[in-house]
Amino acid sequence: MPMFEFWLGTEDTDRLFSVKVAQGKNNLTGNDFARELLEKELHRLHPAVVIFNENGEEIK
């Protein structure tokens, strides 16, 4: 599984933790909640499974 590492600005970090509290996700770390949030948004934006051909190109 690939790992992504990035920095959020202070205002976006505050937003992240505010949403985390609002959703009652106190059992998750900030990183785990950010991952969950990103996964949900990716599935919303692109719900289909991505399929590649033998050349590694995405089949649309």
pLDDT at 1 over 90: no
Q: What is the pLDDT of residue 34?
A: 97
**Per residue, what are the HEC states of 30-41?**
HHHHHHHHHHHH
For residue 16, name the pLDDT band (cuts at 50, 70, 90).
very high
DSSP 16: H
Within 10 angstroms of residue 30's Cβ, the number of other Cβ atoms is 13
Q: What is the pLDDT of residue 3?
A: 92
pLDDT at 19 over 90: yes
pLDDT at 43 over 90: yes
Which uninterrupted H or E stretch holds 51? strand 51-52
Whole-number Å distance between alpha carbons of 53 and 51:
7
* Percent of the chain predicted with pLDDT > 70: 100
